[in-house]
Amino acid sequence: MQRNRFYLITSDILAFLTAFAFGGFVFWEIRQSENLFKHIYSWASIYLVVVPIGICWFYFRGHYTRRRPFWDEMHGISQVLPALAIIEGALIFLTKSTSFSRIWFAASFSSLLIVLPLFRYYVKTLLLRLGKWQLPTVIIGAGENAFDVMAALKSEKYMGIDVRLFLSLDESGLTDYLGIPVMKIPADVKAVLKKYKASCVILALDSNTERTRKTLLEKLHEYTQDLYLVPSMRGVPLYGMEIHHFFRHEVIMMRINNNLLRPIVRTLSLIHI
């Protein structure tokens, strides 16, 4: 895990430097008459201040430690990069740099949206081939919800979730699912996790198991490094929902965004018709 973190951080640093070089190339192609070296020193000094800020920001938001689906990771990147661009613009303004280039600035940060995920993709691909990115995982549940989770994880192979076992609350009659063994959950879950070297547990029980789920969560939380809860929400359109939390209450409220009520979307749909 520590080495994987190091590789991802290194890939991000290289991505920032590559984007900077690309910005310089674009600037040179457009403004060939101007002296490139007049800009590069002051521009690089400011840029190299922003890079550690970006790396620390990604680190504390869990980009190097947590496994995320691709579009969640892209959403996180798209939130951080504009903020870094604002910070860099503020530094340029405060230092009153006269060698600031809008072309270089725009080309660098625009290319980062492509270069950063691309470098991460190549690093994860290499780590997967070397067997270093896989995260041994046990799914607790052997119903529709658990199998839906399995299908979702198979579609996101770059998360590296390696499901090794399903634990069923009762005798389901299944001995395996897609080649992965299914067994009744034992009294000593910790021993099973140790046997399968699982540092990640996904609790994906079906509905009407609230009491059991609460007991398992309390027990698993004591010795599980990565613990995920997937409640049964079959049939509910989850994409694009806004999640609201209530302080001191165990309640989550989700708001469904109805884009069809927006005037622009309605106008476009009428034009399309």
Residue range 70-101, pLDDT digits in tens:
988 998 999 999 999 898 888 877 776 666 67
pTM (2 d.p.): 0.81
CA angle (235, 236, 237) in 5-degree steps: 115
pLDDT of residue 118: 96
Residue 108 has pLDDT above 80, yes or no: yes
Sign of CA dihedral 123, 125, 131, 136: positive
At 268, is the pLDDT very low, low, confident or very high (cuts 50, 70, 90)? low
Instruction: Give percent above pLDDT 90 in the chain.
Output: 29
Residue 1 has pLDDT above 80, yes or no: no
Residue 38 has pLDDT above 70, yes or no: no
Contact 196, 164 (CB under 8 A): yes
Closest CA to 31 of 100, 109, 115: 100
Average pLDDT, the chain: 83
Instruction: Give percent above pLDDT 70 in the chain.
Output: 81
